[in-house]
């Protein structure tokens, strides 16, 4: 007689790759859903929205919602590959793996874990072994080449915005397998970053392929009784909106263009008031993401009538300006560094603009950032309470950037969140045409008064 003879019969040991045909999937799904609070349940049950977001306060149950979501998506896509992503490699180990293993064991879901070369879990389900990769946004390119059914991203707002924005379309391109294809992201909002751009903007809210679910800390009945009270005692009101309510709000040191007010600055002027005026176009150069504001000068005021965003290169930008100008005279106010660099191998950016017949108004060097910001602020409202900048309501990206660009802790306008391009384009135009230092001075002076 051996020690094994005293052990109850059953599937205690399982060969690698062997599925568990005895698992009652229907009962398992029902039990998981029963244990979720309403916000978690709404997130987990939605398998129809292609791009799903979960904006959650601290302690709202976001990680458990992700664990439940990953299991239900694995069950819906048995035999296909899924992926869970954390901002960094250490967070994969310290946050996701611990919580996910506890979740699997609490529901007695059979699995195999492999740590090397990169961690993954294989769930042994009746319809076939189903692998869940665990990856970081630091190495997001490693999923390129895979055919995935679903991807879940945790704390995506803590990822550098440029990395998140670059990775997102690539990840969507990998969702090409399985029965339920979905990308879902969960995060506590960190200001106006990736979550806001993807789910919170007016444009995003109008897209049928996207949906945002919000969970408050108070929604979680399992929190310690004093958890919320402690947060309220240690955070200011703006942080509490984000960290308790899951709301989008400015968490940095202040709005750059704090004089901007939609009630004062967004308006519609009759086209007959400016139809014969030359166009004044501020331009910010960025390869693959060029931005421009188009305005007209009305006496000592500026009215922005249009905008161009995400132009591929300088030629594409110039062609679009020319199309919208429709024969009118065009003055361009580009980033002065465009005279030294190019998106074209043989000509500088400014030479390309001039080749389309535009009159270049850029100075020999860009003004200091603080001077450019001060010029725009003065046009928004000066010390005499004069408002001299108006924006057409259809210039949505410009309005958004004026509202949302904030200062970094170092005191500089933030350039990571993506709200700087339109504002920079506007700043080049305003500084050159309305600043007391440069207005009407002509291109060649370069004079700066102190």
- Give the per-residue pLDDT at 100: 95
Residues in the chain, total: 450
Same domain, 238 and 268: no
Structurally, the chain folds into a number of domains equal to: 2
Does 301 map to a domain? yes
The kind and range of the H/E element at 176 are: none
Residue 16 has pLDDT above 70, yes or no: no
Does the reported pTM lie above 0.95? Answer: no
Could you give the percent of the chain with pLDDT greater than 90? 55
Does 1 map to a domain? no
- 5 or 133, higher pLDDT: 133
Residue 28 has pLDDT above 50, yes or no: yes
Kindly give, in sequence order, each residue whose CB lies less than 8 Å from that of residue 233, ignoring residues fewer than 6 positions away: none
A 10 A CB-CB count for 435 gives 19
Express each pLDDT in 38-86 by its tens digit. Answer: 999 999 999 999 999 999 999 999 999 999 999 999 999 999 999 999 9
Cα dihedral 237, 243, 247, 249 sign: positive
Does 3 map to a domain? no
Domain-ending residue, one of 208, 243, 278: 243
- 249 or 104, higher pLDDT: 104
Does 368 map to a domain? yes
Residue 282 has pLDDT above 70, yes or no: yes
Most confident of 79-83, 286-290, 369-373, 434-438: 79-83
Does 81 map to a domain? yes
In this prediction, residues 187-214 reach a mean pLDDT of 90
Same domain, 32 and 150: yes
Give the pair of three-digit tokens for residue 398: 């410009």
Give the model's confidence band at 385: pLDDT under 50 very low, under 70 low, under 90 confident, else very high.
confident
Does 281 map to a domain? yes
Kindly give, in sequence order, each residue whose CB lies less than 8 Å from that of residue 72, ignoring residues fewer than 6 positions away: 29, 32, 44, 47
In this prediction, residues 193-199 reach a mean pLDDT of 90
Beta bridge partners of 212: 53
Same domain, 200 and 274: no
Beta bridge partners of 332: 281, 360
How many angstroms separate the CA atoms of 424 and 304, rounded? 14
Give the CATH number for residue 99. Answer: 3.40.50.300
Beta bridge partners of 129: 124
- Give the per-residue pLDDT at 302: 96
Same domain, 277 and 209: no
- Give the per-residue pLDDT at 119: 93
- Give the per-residue pLDDT at 6: 53
Give the CATH number for residue 414. Answer: 3.30.420.280
Mean residue pLDDT across the chain: 87
- Give the per-residue pLDDT at 301: 94
Q: Domain of residue 272: give its range.
A: 262-434
How many angstroms separate the CA atoms of 244 and 346, rounded? 54
Can you list the alpha helix ranges (DSSP code H) found in 98-201? 98-106, 161-172, 194-195
Same domain, 331 and 237: no
Same domain, 239 and 269: no
Residue 440 has pLDDT above 70, yes or no: no
Give the model's confidence band at 310: pLDDT under 50 very low, under 70 low, under 90 confident, else very high.
confident
Same domain, 57 and 143: yes
Same domain, 191 and 276: no
Same domain, 239 and 268: no
In this prediction, residues 138-161 reach a mean pLDDT of 87
Kindly give, in sequence order, each residue whose CB lies less than 8 Å from that of residue 23, ignoring residues fewer than 6 positions away: 109, 110, 124, 125, 126
Same domain, 349 and 412: yes
**Crossing angle of the two packed helices 38-45 and 62-76, in degrees rounded to 10:** 30
Same domain, 190 and 281: no
Express each pLDDT in 341-350 by its tens digit. Answer: 555 546 788 9
């Amino acid at each position: 007689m051996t020690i094994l003879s005293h052990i109850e019969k059953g599937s205690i040991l399982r060969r690698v790759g062997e599925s568990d045909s005895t698992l009652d999937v229907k009962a398992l799904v029902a039990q998981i859903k029963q244990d979720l609070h309403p916000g978690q349940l709404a997130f987990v049950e939605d398998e129809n929205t292609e791009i799903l977001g979960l904006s959650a306060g601290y302690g709202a149950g976001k990680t458990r919602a992700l664990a439940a979501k990953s299991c239900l998506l694995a069950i819906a896509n048995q035999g296909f590959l899924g992926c869970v992503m954390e901002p960094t490699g250490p967070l994969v180990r310290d946050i996701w793996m611990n919580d996910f293993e506890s979740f699997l064991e609490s529901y007695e879901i059979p699995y195999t874990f492999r740590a090397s070369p990169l961690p993954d879990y294989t769930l042994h389900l009746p319809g076939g072994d189903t692998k869940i990769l665990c990856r970081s946004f630091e190495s997001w390119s490693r999923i390129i080449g895979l055919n995935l059914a679903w991807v879940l991203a945790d704390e995506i707002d803590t990822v550098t915005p440029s990395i998140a924005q670059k990775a997102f379309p690539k990840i969507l391109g990998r969702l090409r397998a399985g029965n339920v294809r979905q990308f879902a992201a969960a995060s506590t909002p960190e200001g106006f970053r990736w979550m806001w751009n993807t789910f919170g903007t007016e444009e995003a809210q109008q897209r049928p392929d996207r949906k945002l679910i919000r969970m408050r800390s108070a929604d979680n009945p399992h929190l310690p009784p004093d958890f919320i009270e402690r947060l309220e005692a240690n955070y200011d009101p703006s942080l509490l909106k984000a960290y308790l309510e899951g709301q989008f709000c400015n968490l940095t040191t202040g709005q750059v263009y704090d004089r901007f007010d939609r009630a004062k600055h967004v308006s519609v002027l009759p086209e007959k008031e400016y139809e014969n005026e030359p166009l004044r176009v501020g331009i910010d150069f960025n390869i693959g993401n060029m931005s421009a504001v188009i305005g007209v000068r009305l006496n000592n005021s500026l009215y922005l009538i249009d905008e161009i965003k995400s132009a591929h290169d300088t030629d594409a930008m110039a062609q679009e300006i020319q199309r919208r100008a429709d024969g009118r005279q065009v003055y361009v106010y580009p980033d002065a560094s465009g005279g030294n660099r190019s998106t074209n191998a043989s000509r500088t950016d400014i030479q390309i603009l001039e080749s389309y017949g535009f009159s270049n108004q850029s100075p020999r060097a860009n003004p200091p950032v603080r001077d450019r910001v001060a010029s725009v602020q003065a046009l928004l409202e000066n010390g005499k309470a004069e408002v001299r900048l108006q924006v057409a309501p259809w210039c949505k990206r410009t309005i958004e950037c004026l509202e949302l660009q904030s200062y970094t802790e170092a005191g500089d306008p933030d350039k990571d969140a993506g709200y700087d391009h339109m504002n920079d384009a506007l700043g080049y135009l305003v500084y050159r045409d309305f600043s007391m230092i440069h207005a009407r001075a002509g291109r060649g002076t370069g004079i700066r008064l102190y």
